[in-house]
A and B are shown apart, each in its own frame.
Chain A
């Protein structure tokens, strides 16, 4: 079946440093790639997404890049802050439906003050 691989599973950075999380996907028909942030004890929430006709998207300190040829996409967080500490999930649409997502296993990001 289709899958999404996410790396690393844990990431620890110093406040102010950058953090990068990488994902690869298997479904060539995937065309929607969201990233979700889940704080401890809370529900996942969308932080940024990108469609397949766009190579890069930025929103303040976070950015996502997409390489369709290589089937991988990445999340970049600059100037990290302690409140960025959370679990981050990448996802990719599958089965030709953008409403249908398969998620990576998550990256636990810790930002040390």
Chain B
């Protein structure tokens, strides 16, 4: 089954404790992105990757890191989480088919930083 998976789905942590949210897709997509969703602010892009070893900042990259060492994986790293990073996080992947770049979203990771 074609899908994007994220782990963990829920995470409660404390300020300053490094964490990683994993994202994996089995569709051989070139593009992968991370978004955060906050009430009233919609989906804001954190980082994106156009292919292996190619990553770039989105709208809200501060406090986050990513890596793309393999095509299927795109982990999101919070080196020193802070309460303002409490949010719902979505990973997404996409590729071009017939002029459409449909983004396939993962199930989301709800992160709480206390």
Contact = CB atoms under 8 A, between A and B. Distances in A.
Interface of A: 1, 6, 9, 32, 34, 36, 43-46, 49, 51, 89, 93, 97-106
Interface residues of B, number: 26
Nearest to B30: A99
B43 A100 contact: no
B43 A103 contact: yes
Looking at A34, A43, A51, A99, the one whose CB has the most chain B CB atoms below 10 A away is A99
Nearest to A105: B42
B94 interface: yes
A105 B94 contact: no
B102 A34 contact: yes
Nearest to B90: A43
B2 interface: no
B42 A99 contact: no
A46 B59 contact: no
B108 interface: yes
Interface stretch (B16-24, B44-52, B72-80): B44-52
Interface string B40-74: 11111100101000000001000000000000000
Nearest to A87: B42
Contacts of A32: 99-101
30 contacts: A32-B99, A32-B100, A36-B103, A43-B90, A43-B105, A43-B106, A44-B43, A44-B105, A45-B105, A46-B103, A49-B100, A93-B101, A97-B31, A99-B31, A99-B50, A99-B94, A99-B95, A99-B103, A100-B31, A100-B33, A100-B45, A100-B48, A101-B45, A102-B45, A103-B43, A103-B44, A103-B45, A105-B40, A105-B41, A106-B42
Contact of A49 (B45, B102, B108): B102
A99 B104 CA distance: 11
B108 to A, nearest CB: 6
Contacts of B40: 9, 105
